[in-house]
Amino acid sequence: MLRTDSVSLSQEGELDSSILYDILPSSCPDPPVVSSNAFHAADTHQEEGKPVHYRGMGHSEESRLANLLRRVSREDDRDRRLATLRQLKDFISHSESKVTLVKQLDTILSTLNDILNERFVFFSLTWKTEAVVVGDSDGTVDGAECFCVFQLVMTNLQSILENVDTPELLCQSVKCILQVAHCYPHVFSINFRDTVDILVGWHIDHTQKQSVTQQVSGWLQSLEQFWVADLTFSTTLLGQFLEDMEAYAEDLNHVVLGEILDEDIPPPSVSLPKLAALLRVFSTVVRSIGERFSPLRGPPITEVYVTDVLNRVLACVSTAKQVQFSEEVLTAGNECVGVLLASVEPSGQLMEAVLVYGLDQLDCCQACSSDYNLSVLIILTMVPPLLQCYHSHNVELCYLAVQQYSPQFFG
């Protein structure tokens, strides 16, 4: 049985989806040789059919660009180098001499890539953030023209992401990667699976603060275009999460049956937090797929598929509840059930099972947090009214409990 916590999961704003399918070059040309006078004046001959004022950058602007590039390459002081990077960004953003900037693009990008490659600034990811932003500031060159350079940049960023060990460094490295994903989606798509693999690892680490988990969830959901474009990978990942949930539920079932646990079976104190983490990341991926996670949009998301997944999630959470009441597991499970219900048409047998599942938790509402109470209420309100009428008294009790202990949800 595959365990998400021990095995890598993959071999693995709105973006313009058409860019994602650009034809990528099969190989990259060798990087241009930068001569010793790379920063000298650009060729000032008049281009055919262009007015005289298109003859390139004035001497003062050209000298300033050369000076900024030299300073950002040679500066050792962190603060001064960061300030120079910002000056370079502003210069490129506001320069009127776009033609010459395009001619100098190789030099500019090579300089930025050198910064990304420097080992001694590994922990100064703010520089890297500024470098990627600078690389996008010009906006005069189509992404495909500098595919090779930004592919190298993305490879370096991926290497950084694999080695970060604090939430602060994670945040800075992901900012850079999301910038590349936004500006050059055809470059990022190559690294999408590997990036997801690492972020999912952070997401299911139940020792992280809730704020970190929520932030990682937001990053994953911001990549909706890539989840949809690689739907096979997306559904395979969901399947792996589900298998791991069932593995932990099976471990917990040994406790329900009163069996003696051997050393290979983790105790509930280990299984329950990991089950909750898997339920949370499952919900995140479903949300990341967005509107495409609907039987109405066709295979592989079908009515049979969603119903099967929903029943298996219900079974896992119910098994956990028999072993030990865990508000964390039930809240995560209710959230997962809710996102799945939102994508499926109501059916009598399925909704009956969901209603029984929700009503079974009512007796805990008065002793639990508002998050838990709200998760129960959301599930019950998603059940068709006709079915609710058979259990109207219990549903009313749920409303009253949530209103009493979570009044902020009722204005």
**Tens-place pLDDT, residues 13-52:** 433 433 333 333 334 444 444 443 433 433 434 344 433 3
CA 25 to chain CA centroid, Å, is 27
Pick the residue with more confidence: 367 or 393? 367
> Alpha carbon of 234 to those of 206, 230, 231, 391, 410: distances in Å?
22, 6, 5, 37, 36
What is the CA angle 46-49-51, rounded to 5?
60
Q: pTM for the complete prediction? A: 0.66
pLDDT attached to residue 150: 74
Q: What is the pLDDT of residue 264?
A: 75
Cα 285 from Cα 283, distance rounded (Å): 6
DSSP conformation class of 362: G
Q: What is the tens place of the pLDDT at every residue in 254-289?
A: 876 766 667 778 888 889 999 999 999 999 999 999
Q: Are 376 and 402 a contacting pair, CB within 8 Å? A: yes
Query: Per-residue pLDDT tens for 73-91?
Result: 777 787 888 888 888 877 7
Which residues lie below 8 Å from residue 179, measured CB to CB, with a gap of 6+? 129, 132, 133, 136
pLDDT value for 356: 83
Overall average pLDDT of the 162-187 stretch: 90
Question: Who's near 60: CB < 8 A, 6+ residues apart?
Answer: none
pLDDT at 124: 45
Distance CA 104, CA 56 (A): 11
Nearest to 306 by CA among 354, 274, 359, 273: 354
Whether 226 has a pLDDT exceeding 90, the answer reads yes
